[in-house]
Amino acid sequence: MLVSATEMLKKAKEGHYAVGQFNINNLEWTKSVLLTAEELKSPVILGVSEGAGKYMTGFGTVAAMVKAMHDELGITVPVALHLDHGTYEGCYKCIKAGFTSIMFDGSHYPIDENVAKTKELVAVAHAMGMSIEAEVGSIGGEEDGVVGMGECADPDECKRVADLGVDMLAAGIGNIHGKYPANWQGLSFETLDAIQQKTGVMPLVLHGGTGIPADMIKKAIDLGVSKINVNTECQLSFADATRKYIEAGKDLEGKGFDPRKLLAPGAEAIKATVKEKMELFGSVGKAE
């Protein structure tokens, strides 16, 4: 059974580790992440952006696939199915589709409107037994057409949103989506510490986990980050393994063109990346 992210993140905050959110893009992604989480006995959050949901023909399809795969594989570790950077409308679609967790990204609204919409969605999500993530201060880079420059969130605004009863809070601390540019200034731990002081036991979320140095990740976890999102890194490792397979001419050998063979190296590469991240985040063995 899929679960909300509330309990796993409470435990992560108390235990000073982070649960990885790994975005899924298709069947291979989902299978690779679930199998790795089970192997490492780690809780996991499957993230679905609105773009990925559309690509997979809709949130209903995604929820049905994840639930069926979870059961068929006999997964025993806690797994949450989570909407990533959801619009107001997207949140309601995922509630209807049977997701166990949603993120409402109201960071582009004026703070009063972000608060009003978040408050409404908190009430609806909690009535359904779902966890909800909110965002204050945009995350840099681009994801599904949402562009942010990596601004740092206002700690007082973070407190306003945290006090609405959200289960986790994504706050911009200079992090960005996608590959980090050469002139990236690094994470603002001063901002993160100030937010932590205002929000207390609230699990904090770090978006744009790809490319942040390991020492920064560990320091962020020490300062209250309990959920770290990874997407680009899995996409890069998948693409690299697939390119090598084709460049080596493997697709021309026997039935190497069969998608089950063609996509296998990429799926294994995703597993390796997820394993590396779970070890770095400290979540290995936390589901036992």
All structural domains of the chain with their residue ranges: 3-279
Separation between Cα atoms, residue 210 and residue 203, nearest integer Å: 20
Is 135 within any annotated ligand binding site? yes
| 68 against 107, higher pLDDT | 68
Q: Is the pLDDT of residue 86 over 90?
A: yes
Q: Which of 84, 144, 193, 251 is catalytic?
A: 84
| 138 against 135, higher pLDDT | 135
Separation between Cα atoms, residue 264 and residue 244, nearest integer Å: 12
Portion of the chain with pLDDT greater than 90, in percent: 80
Q: Please list, in sequence order, all residues whose beta carbon lies within 8 angstroms of the beta carbon of residue 182, skipping any fewer than 6 positions away.
A: none
Our answer to whether residue 84 is catalytic in this structure is yes
How much is the pLDDT for 225?
95
Q: What is the rounded average pLDDT for all residues in the chain? A: 92
Could you please report the per-residue DSSP string of 243-282?
HHHHHTTGGGSTTTTSHHHHSHHHHHHHHHHHHHHHHHHT
pLDDT digits (tens, 9 = 90+) for 182-231: 777 788 899 899 999 999 999 999 987 677 889 999 999 999 999 999 99
How much is the pLDDT for 152?
80
Is 209 within any annotated ligand binding site? yes
Q: Is the pLDDT of residue 119 over 50?
A: yes
Q: What is the arithmetic mean of pLDDT over 84-95?
A: 97
Is 71 within any annotated ligand binding site? no
pLDDT digits (tens, 9 = 90+) for 47-56: 999 999 999 9
Angle, helices 88-97 vs 59-72, to 10°: value is 40
The total number of residues shown for the chain amounts to: 288
Separation between Cα atoms, residue 257 and residue 106, nearest integer Å: 44
How much is the pLDDT for 6?
96
Structure tokens at 214: 């390991």
pLDDT digits (tens, 9 = 90+) for 141-157: 555 544 444 568 889 99
Separation between Cα atoms, residue 24 and residue 45, nearest integer Å: 10
How much is the pLDDT for 184?
74
Is 126 within any annotated ligand binding site? no
Is 229 within any annotated ligand binding site? yes
How much is the pLDDT for 148?
45
Q: Please list, in sequence order, all residues whose beta carbon lies within 8 angstroms of the beta carbon of residue 242, skipping any fewer than 6 positions away.
A: 262, 263, 265, 266
Is 208 within any annotated ligand binding site? yes
Tell which residue, 283, 49, 257, has the closest CA to residue 144: 49
Is 105 within any annotated ligand binding site? yes
pLDDT digits (tens, 9 = 90+) for 233-281: 999 999 999 999 999 999 999 999 999 999 999 999 999 999 999 999 9
Is 72 within any annotated ligand binding site? no
The topology under which CATH files domain 3-279 is TIM Barrel (3.20.20)
Q: Is the pLDDT of residue 137 over 60?
A: yes
pLDDT digits (tens, 9 = 90+) for 55-80: 999 999 999 999 999 999 999 999 99
Long-range contacts of 111-119 (CB under 8 A, 24+ apart): 111/136, 111/157, 111/160, 114/161, 115/160, 115/161, 115/164, 117/88, 118/161, 118/164, 118/166, 119/164
Is 16 within any annotated ligand binding site? no
